C-alpha cells in the first residue's frame, strides 16, 4: 500500500492498468484507446504502462476503440477503455453492441459537455446518454472513490451473475485534472481481489460458434429479459464485493449510494459526483443551524437502486434533485429516475434543479438558494434552472 498525490485521470489509468495486469496469468488484457479531452491522460498512462501480458491498441476513433475492446473480450481478454463527450457519442453504436454482447468491459467516462457549442467542462449528459445500453453506471465523487470503483467494476462486471460492461463516470477537470491523496494497493492485493477474467461466451478456437447473428423477436425479447435479470443481481454482487474489498484493502468502498443526515430529515437533496461533496458541506452547515436537512449521493445509476433510494428517503416530505445534465423537452435525468421511483409511493414533493450545465460552478451559494427554494415550496413545478433560483 502506498499513499500518493495523483490526478483523477492518472488514478483511473493506474486502476485500469493494475486490473489489466492482474489478468496476466489468464488471457491477458487489451484496450482500444483514442484521445479526447479530458480523458486523454488515462490512455496516455495506459500506453506507457509496461504490461506483462497486455496490449493497448491505438486506434483511429472511439468507435474502433470499443470495437477493439469487443474483439479482445470475445477472445477472452480483460478489456477497458476511456472516453468523454462527443467521443462517447461517436462510440455509441459499439457501446450498445458491447452491452448486448454482454462483454464485461470497463470504461471510464470523464464527463464533459456534448457539443456544439464546444465546451470541455463537466456535464453528465454524455454518460447518461448511454443509460439504455445495457451497461452498469457508477458515479464517483473523489479520487479514492474513483480508484476503488474501477476495481469494484471489474469484479462486478466479470461476475457470471452480471456479465455486463460498466461505465465509471467522473467529473471532467474537477476530478480528472485535480490532485488528491489516494491509497494505492499493491499489485498482489489487486491480484487477490480480481479473479482471472472469464468471458464464458468467448470464441473458443477450433470450436464453431457464431456470436451475434440473427435472432427472432421471441429470442431477442428473452435476451433483453436475461439482461434485466442480471441487472437485478448487481446490488447483491456489489455488496459481496464490498465485503471482500474491505477484507483485502482494509477500507470499505462506497456501495450503491451514500447518505448523510437522512435519518430524521424532512427534506433531502440528491446529487452525484463532486457536486455531492459541496452539497454535503452545505447540509452540515444548515444542520448546525437546526434545519432537518439530509442528502443522498447517488453512485450506482444503472441499475437504478429504487428500493435503496426509497429507504434512504424514508419519511422526508420534500426531495430536491440537482441535475448536471439536461434532457431537452423533459428535464434532469436523475429527476426522471427518482420520479419513477417515487411513483405510486408516499406523497413527496419532488423538485428538479438543473445546475452546473456546461461545467458551471455549483457553489455553496447556489445550493443554499436551492434549499431555500425547496423550503418555501408547497408544490413542485417544472425543472428549475440555476438562474431562476438565485
Partner 1 sequence: MSAMTPSKPYRNHLLRPGNTNCAGCGMSVGLQFLDEALGDEMPVLVIPSSCGIVTAGAFPTSGYGAPTAATTFASSPAVASGISAVTNMNDIDNPVICWAGDGGTYDIGMATLSAAAERNEDIIYICYDNEIYGNTGGQRSGATPIGSVTSTTPQGKSERKKDIMSIMAAHRIPYAATLSIGHRKDFLRKVRYARSVKGFRFLLMLSPCPTGWKSEPDQSTELIELAVRSGLFPLYEIFDGRRYRINFRPDDTDVSTYTKQQRRFRKVWGDTGDLQAFIDAQWQYLDGMATVFPAKEPGTPGTKVERL
- Residue ranges in contact with partner 1 by CB under 8 A: 27-28, 30, 32, 53-55, 57-61, 63-77, 79, 93-94, 97, 203-216, 219
Q: Which residues contact 311 (CB under 8 A, 6 or more apart)?
A: none
Q: State the angle between helix axes of 217-249 and 85-101 in degrees (0 to 180), rounded to the nearest 10.
A: 110
Of the pair 93, 247, the CB lying nearest partner 1 is at: 93
**Which C-beta is closer to partner 1: that of 118 or that of 216?**
216
Residue with Cβ nearer partner 1 (93 or 232):
93
In contact, 28 and 53? CB cutoff 8 Å: yes
- Which residue, 95 or 122, is less far from partner 1 as judged by CB? 95
For the CB of residue 84, give the shortest distance to partner 1 in the complex, in Å: 19
Residue 57 contacts residue 33 (beta carbons within 8 Å): yes
Shortest Cβ 87–partner 1 spacing (Å): 15
Q: Single out the residue of 294, 143, 374 nearest to residue 383, CA to CA.
A: 374
Provide, rounded to whole angstroms, the least separation between the CB of residue 32 and partner 1: 7
In sequence order, which residues have a C-beta less than 8 Å from that of residue 164 and are 6 or more positions away?
99, 102, 104, 134, 135, 136, 157, 227, 230, 231
Q: How far is C-alpha 28 from the chain's CA centre?
A: 24
Cβ proximity to partner 1, 66 vs 167, nearer residue: 66
Please give the grid coordinates belonging to residue 118: 464546444
Least CB distance from residue 206 to partner 1, whole Å?
A: 5
- 138 neighbors 166 (Cβ within 8 angstroms): yes
Of 208 and 328, which has the nearer Cβ to partner 1?
Answer: 208
Nearer to partner 1, 206 or 379 (CB): 206
Please, what is the minimum distance in Å from the beta carbon of residue 101 to partner 1?
9
Sheet holding 349-354, edge to edge: 257-260, 293-298, 267-271, 318-323, 349-354, 384-385
Question: Measured from the CB atom, is 69 or 374 closer to partner 1?
Answer: 69
Q: Give the shortest CB-283-to-partner 1 separation in angstroms.
A: 45
Q: How far is the CB of 27 from partner 1 (least distance, A)?
A: 6
Element (H, E) at 177: none
In whole angstroms, the minimum distance from the beta carbon of 180 to partner 1 comes to 33
Task: Indicate the Cα dihedral angle 379, 386, 389, 353, nearest 10°.
Answer: 20
Q: Which residues contact 11 (CB under 8 A, 6 or more apart)?
A: 143, 146, 147, 180, 182
Whether residue 159 contacts residue 193, with contact meaning beta carbons closer than 8 Å, is answered with no
- Tell me which residue of 101, 88, 85, 81 sits closest to 30, measured CA to CA: 81
Nearer to partner 1, 58 or 180 (CB): 58
Task: Please state the closest distance from residue 235 (CB atom) to partner 1, in A.
Answer: 30
Amino acid at each position: 500500500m502506498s499513499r500518493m498525490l495523483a490526478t483523477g485521470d492518472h488514478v483511473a489509468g493506474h486502476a485500469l492498468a493494475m486490473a489489466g495486469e492482474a489478468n496476466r496469468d489468464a488471457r491477458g488484457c487489451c484496450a482500444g484507446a483514442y484521445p479526447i479531452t479530458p480523458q486523454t491522460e488515462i490512455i496516455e498512462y495506459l500506453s506507457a504502462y509496461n504490461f506483462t501480458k497486455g496490449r493497448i491498441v491505438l486506434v483511429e476513433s472511439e468507435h474502433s476503440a470499443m470495437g477493439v475492446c469487443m474483439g479482445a473480450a470475445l477472445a477472452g481478454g480483460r478489456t477497458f477503455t476511456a472516453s468523454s463527450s462527443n467521443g462517447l457519442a461517436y462510440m455509441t453504436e459499439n457501446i450498445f453492441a458491447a452491452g448486448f454482447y454482454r462483454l464485461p468491459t470497463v470504461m471510464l467516462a470523464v464527463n464533459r459537455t456534448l457539443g456544439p457549442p464546444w465546451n470541455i467542462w463537466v456535464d453528465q449528459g454524455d454518460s447518461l446518454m448511454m443509460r439504455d445500453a445495457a451497461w452498469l453506471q457508477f458515479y464517483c465523487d473523489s479520487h479514492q472513490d474513483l480508484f476503488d470503483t474501477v476495481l469494484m467494476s471489474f469484479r462486478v462486471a466479470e461476475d457470471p451473475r452480471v456479465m455486463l460492461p460498466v461505465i465509471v463516470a467522473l467529473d471532467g477537470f474537477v476530478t480528472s485534472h485535480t490532485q488528491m491523496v489516494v491509497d494505492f494497493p499493491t499489485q498482489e492485493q489487486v491480484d487477490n481481489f480480481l479473479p482471472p477474467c472469464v468471458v464464458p461466451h468467448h470464441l473458443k478456437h477450433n470450436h464453431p460458434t457464431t456470436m451475434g447473428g440473427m435472432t427472432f423477436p421471441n429470442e431477442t425479447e428473452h435476451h433483453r429479459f436475461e439482461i434485466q435479470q442480471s441487472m437485478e443481481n448487481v446490488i447483491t454482487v456489489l455488496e459481496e464485493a464490498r465485503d471482500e474489498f474491505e477484507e483485502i484493502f482494509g477500507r470499505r468502498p462506497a456501495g450503491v449510494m451514500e447518505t448523510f443526515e437522512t435519518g430524521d430529515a424532512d427534506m433531502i437533496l440528491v446529487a452525484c459526483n463532486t457536486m455531492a461533496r459541496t452539497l454535503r458541506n452545505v447540509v452540515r452547515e444548515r444542520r448546525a443551524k437546526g434545519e432537518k436537512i439530509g442528502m443522498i449521493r447517488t453512485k450506482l445509476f444503472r441499475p437504478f437502486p429504487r428500493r435503496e433510494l426509497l429507504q434512504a428517503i424514508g419519511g422526508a416530505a420534500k426531495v430536491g434533485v440537482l441535475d448536471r445534465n439536461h434532457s431537452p423537452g423533459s428535464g434532469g435525468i436523475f429527476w426522471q429516475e427518482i420520479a419513477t421511483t417515487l411513483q405510486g409511493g408516499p406523497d413527496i414533493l419532488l423538485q428538479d434543479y438543473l445546475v452546473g450545465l456546461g461545467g458551471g460552478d455549483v457553489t455553496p451559494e447556489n445550493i443554499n438558494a436551492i434549499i431555500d427554494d425547496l423550503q418555501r415550496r408547497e408544490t413542485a413545478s417544472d425543472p428549475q434552472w440555476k438562474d431562476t433560483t438565485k
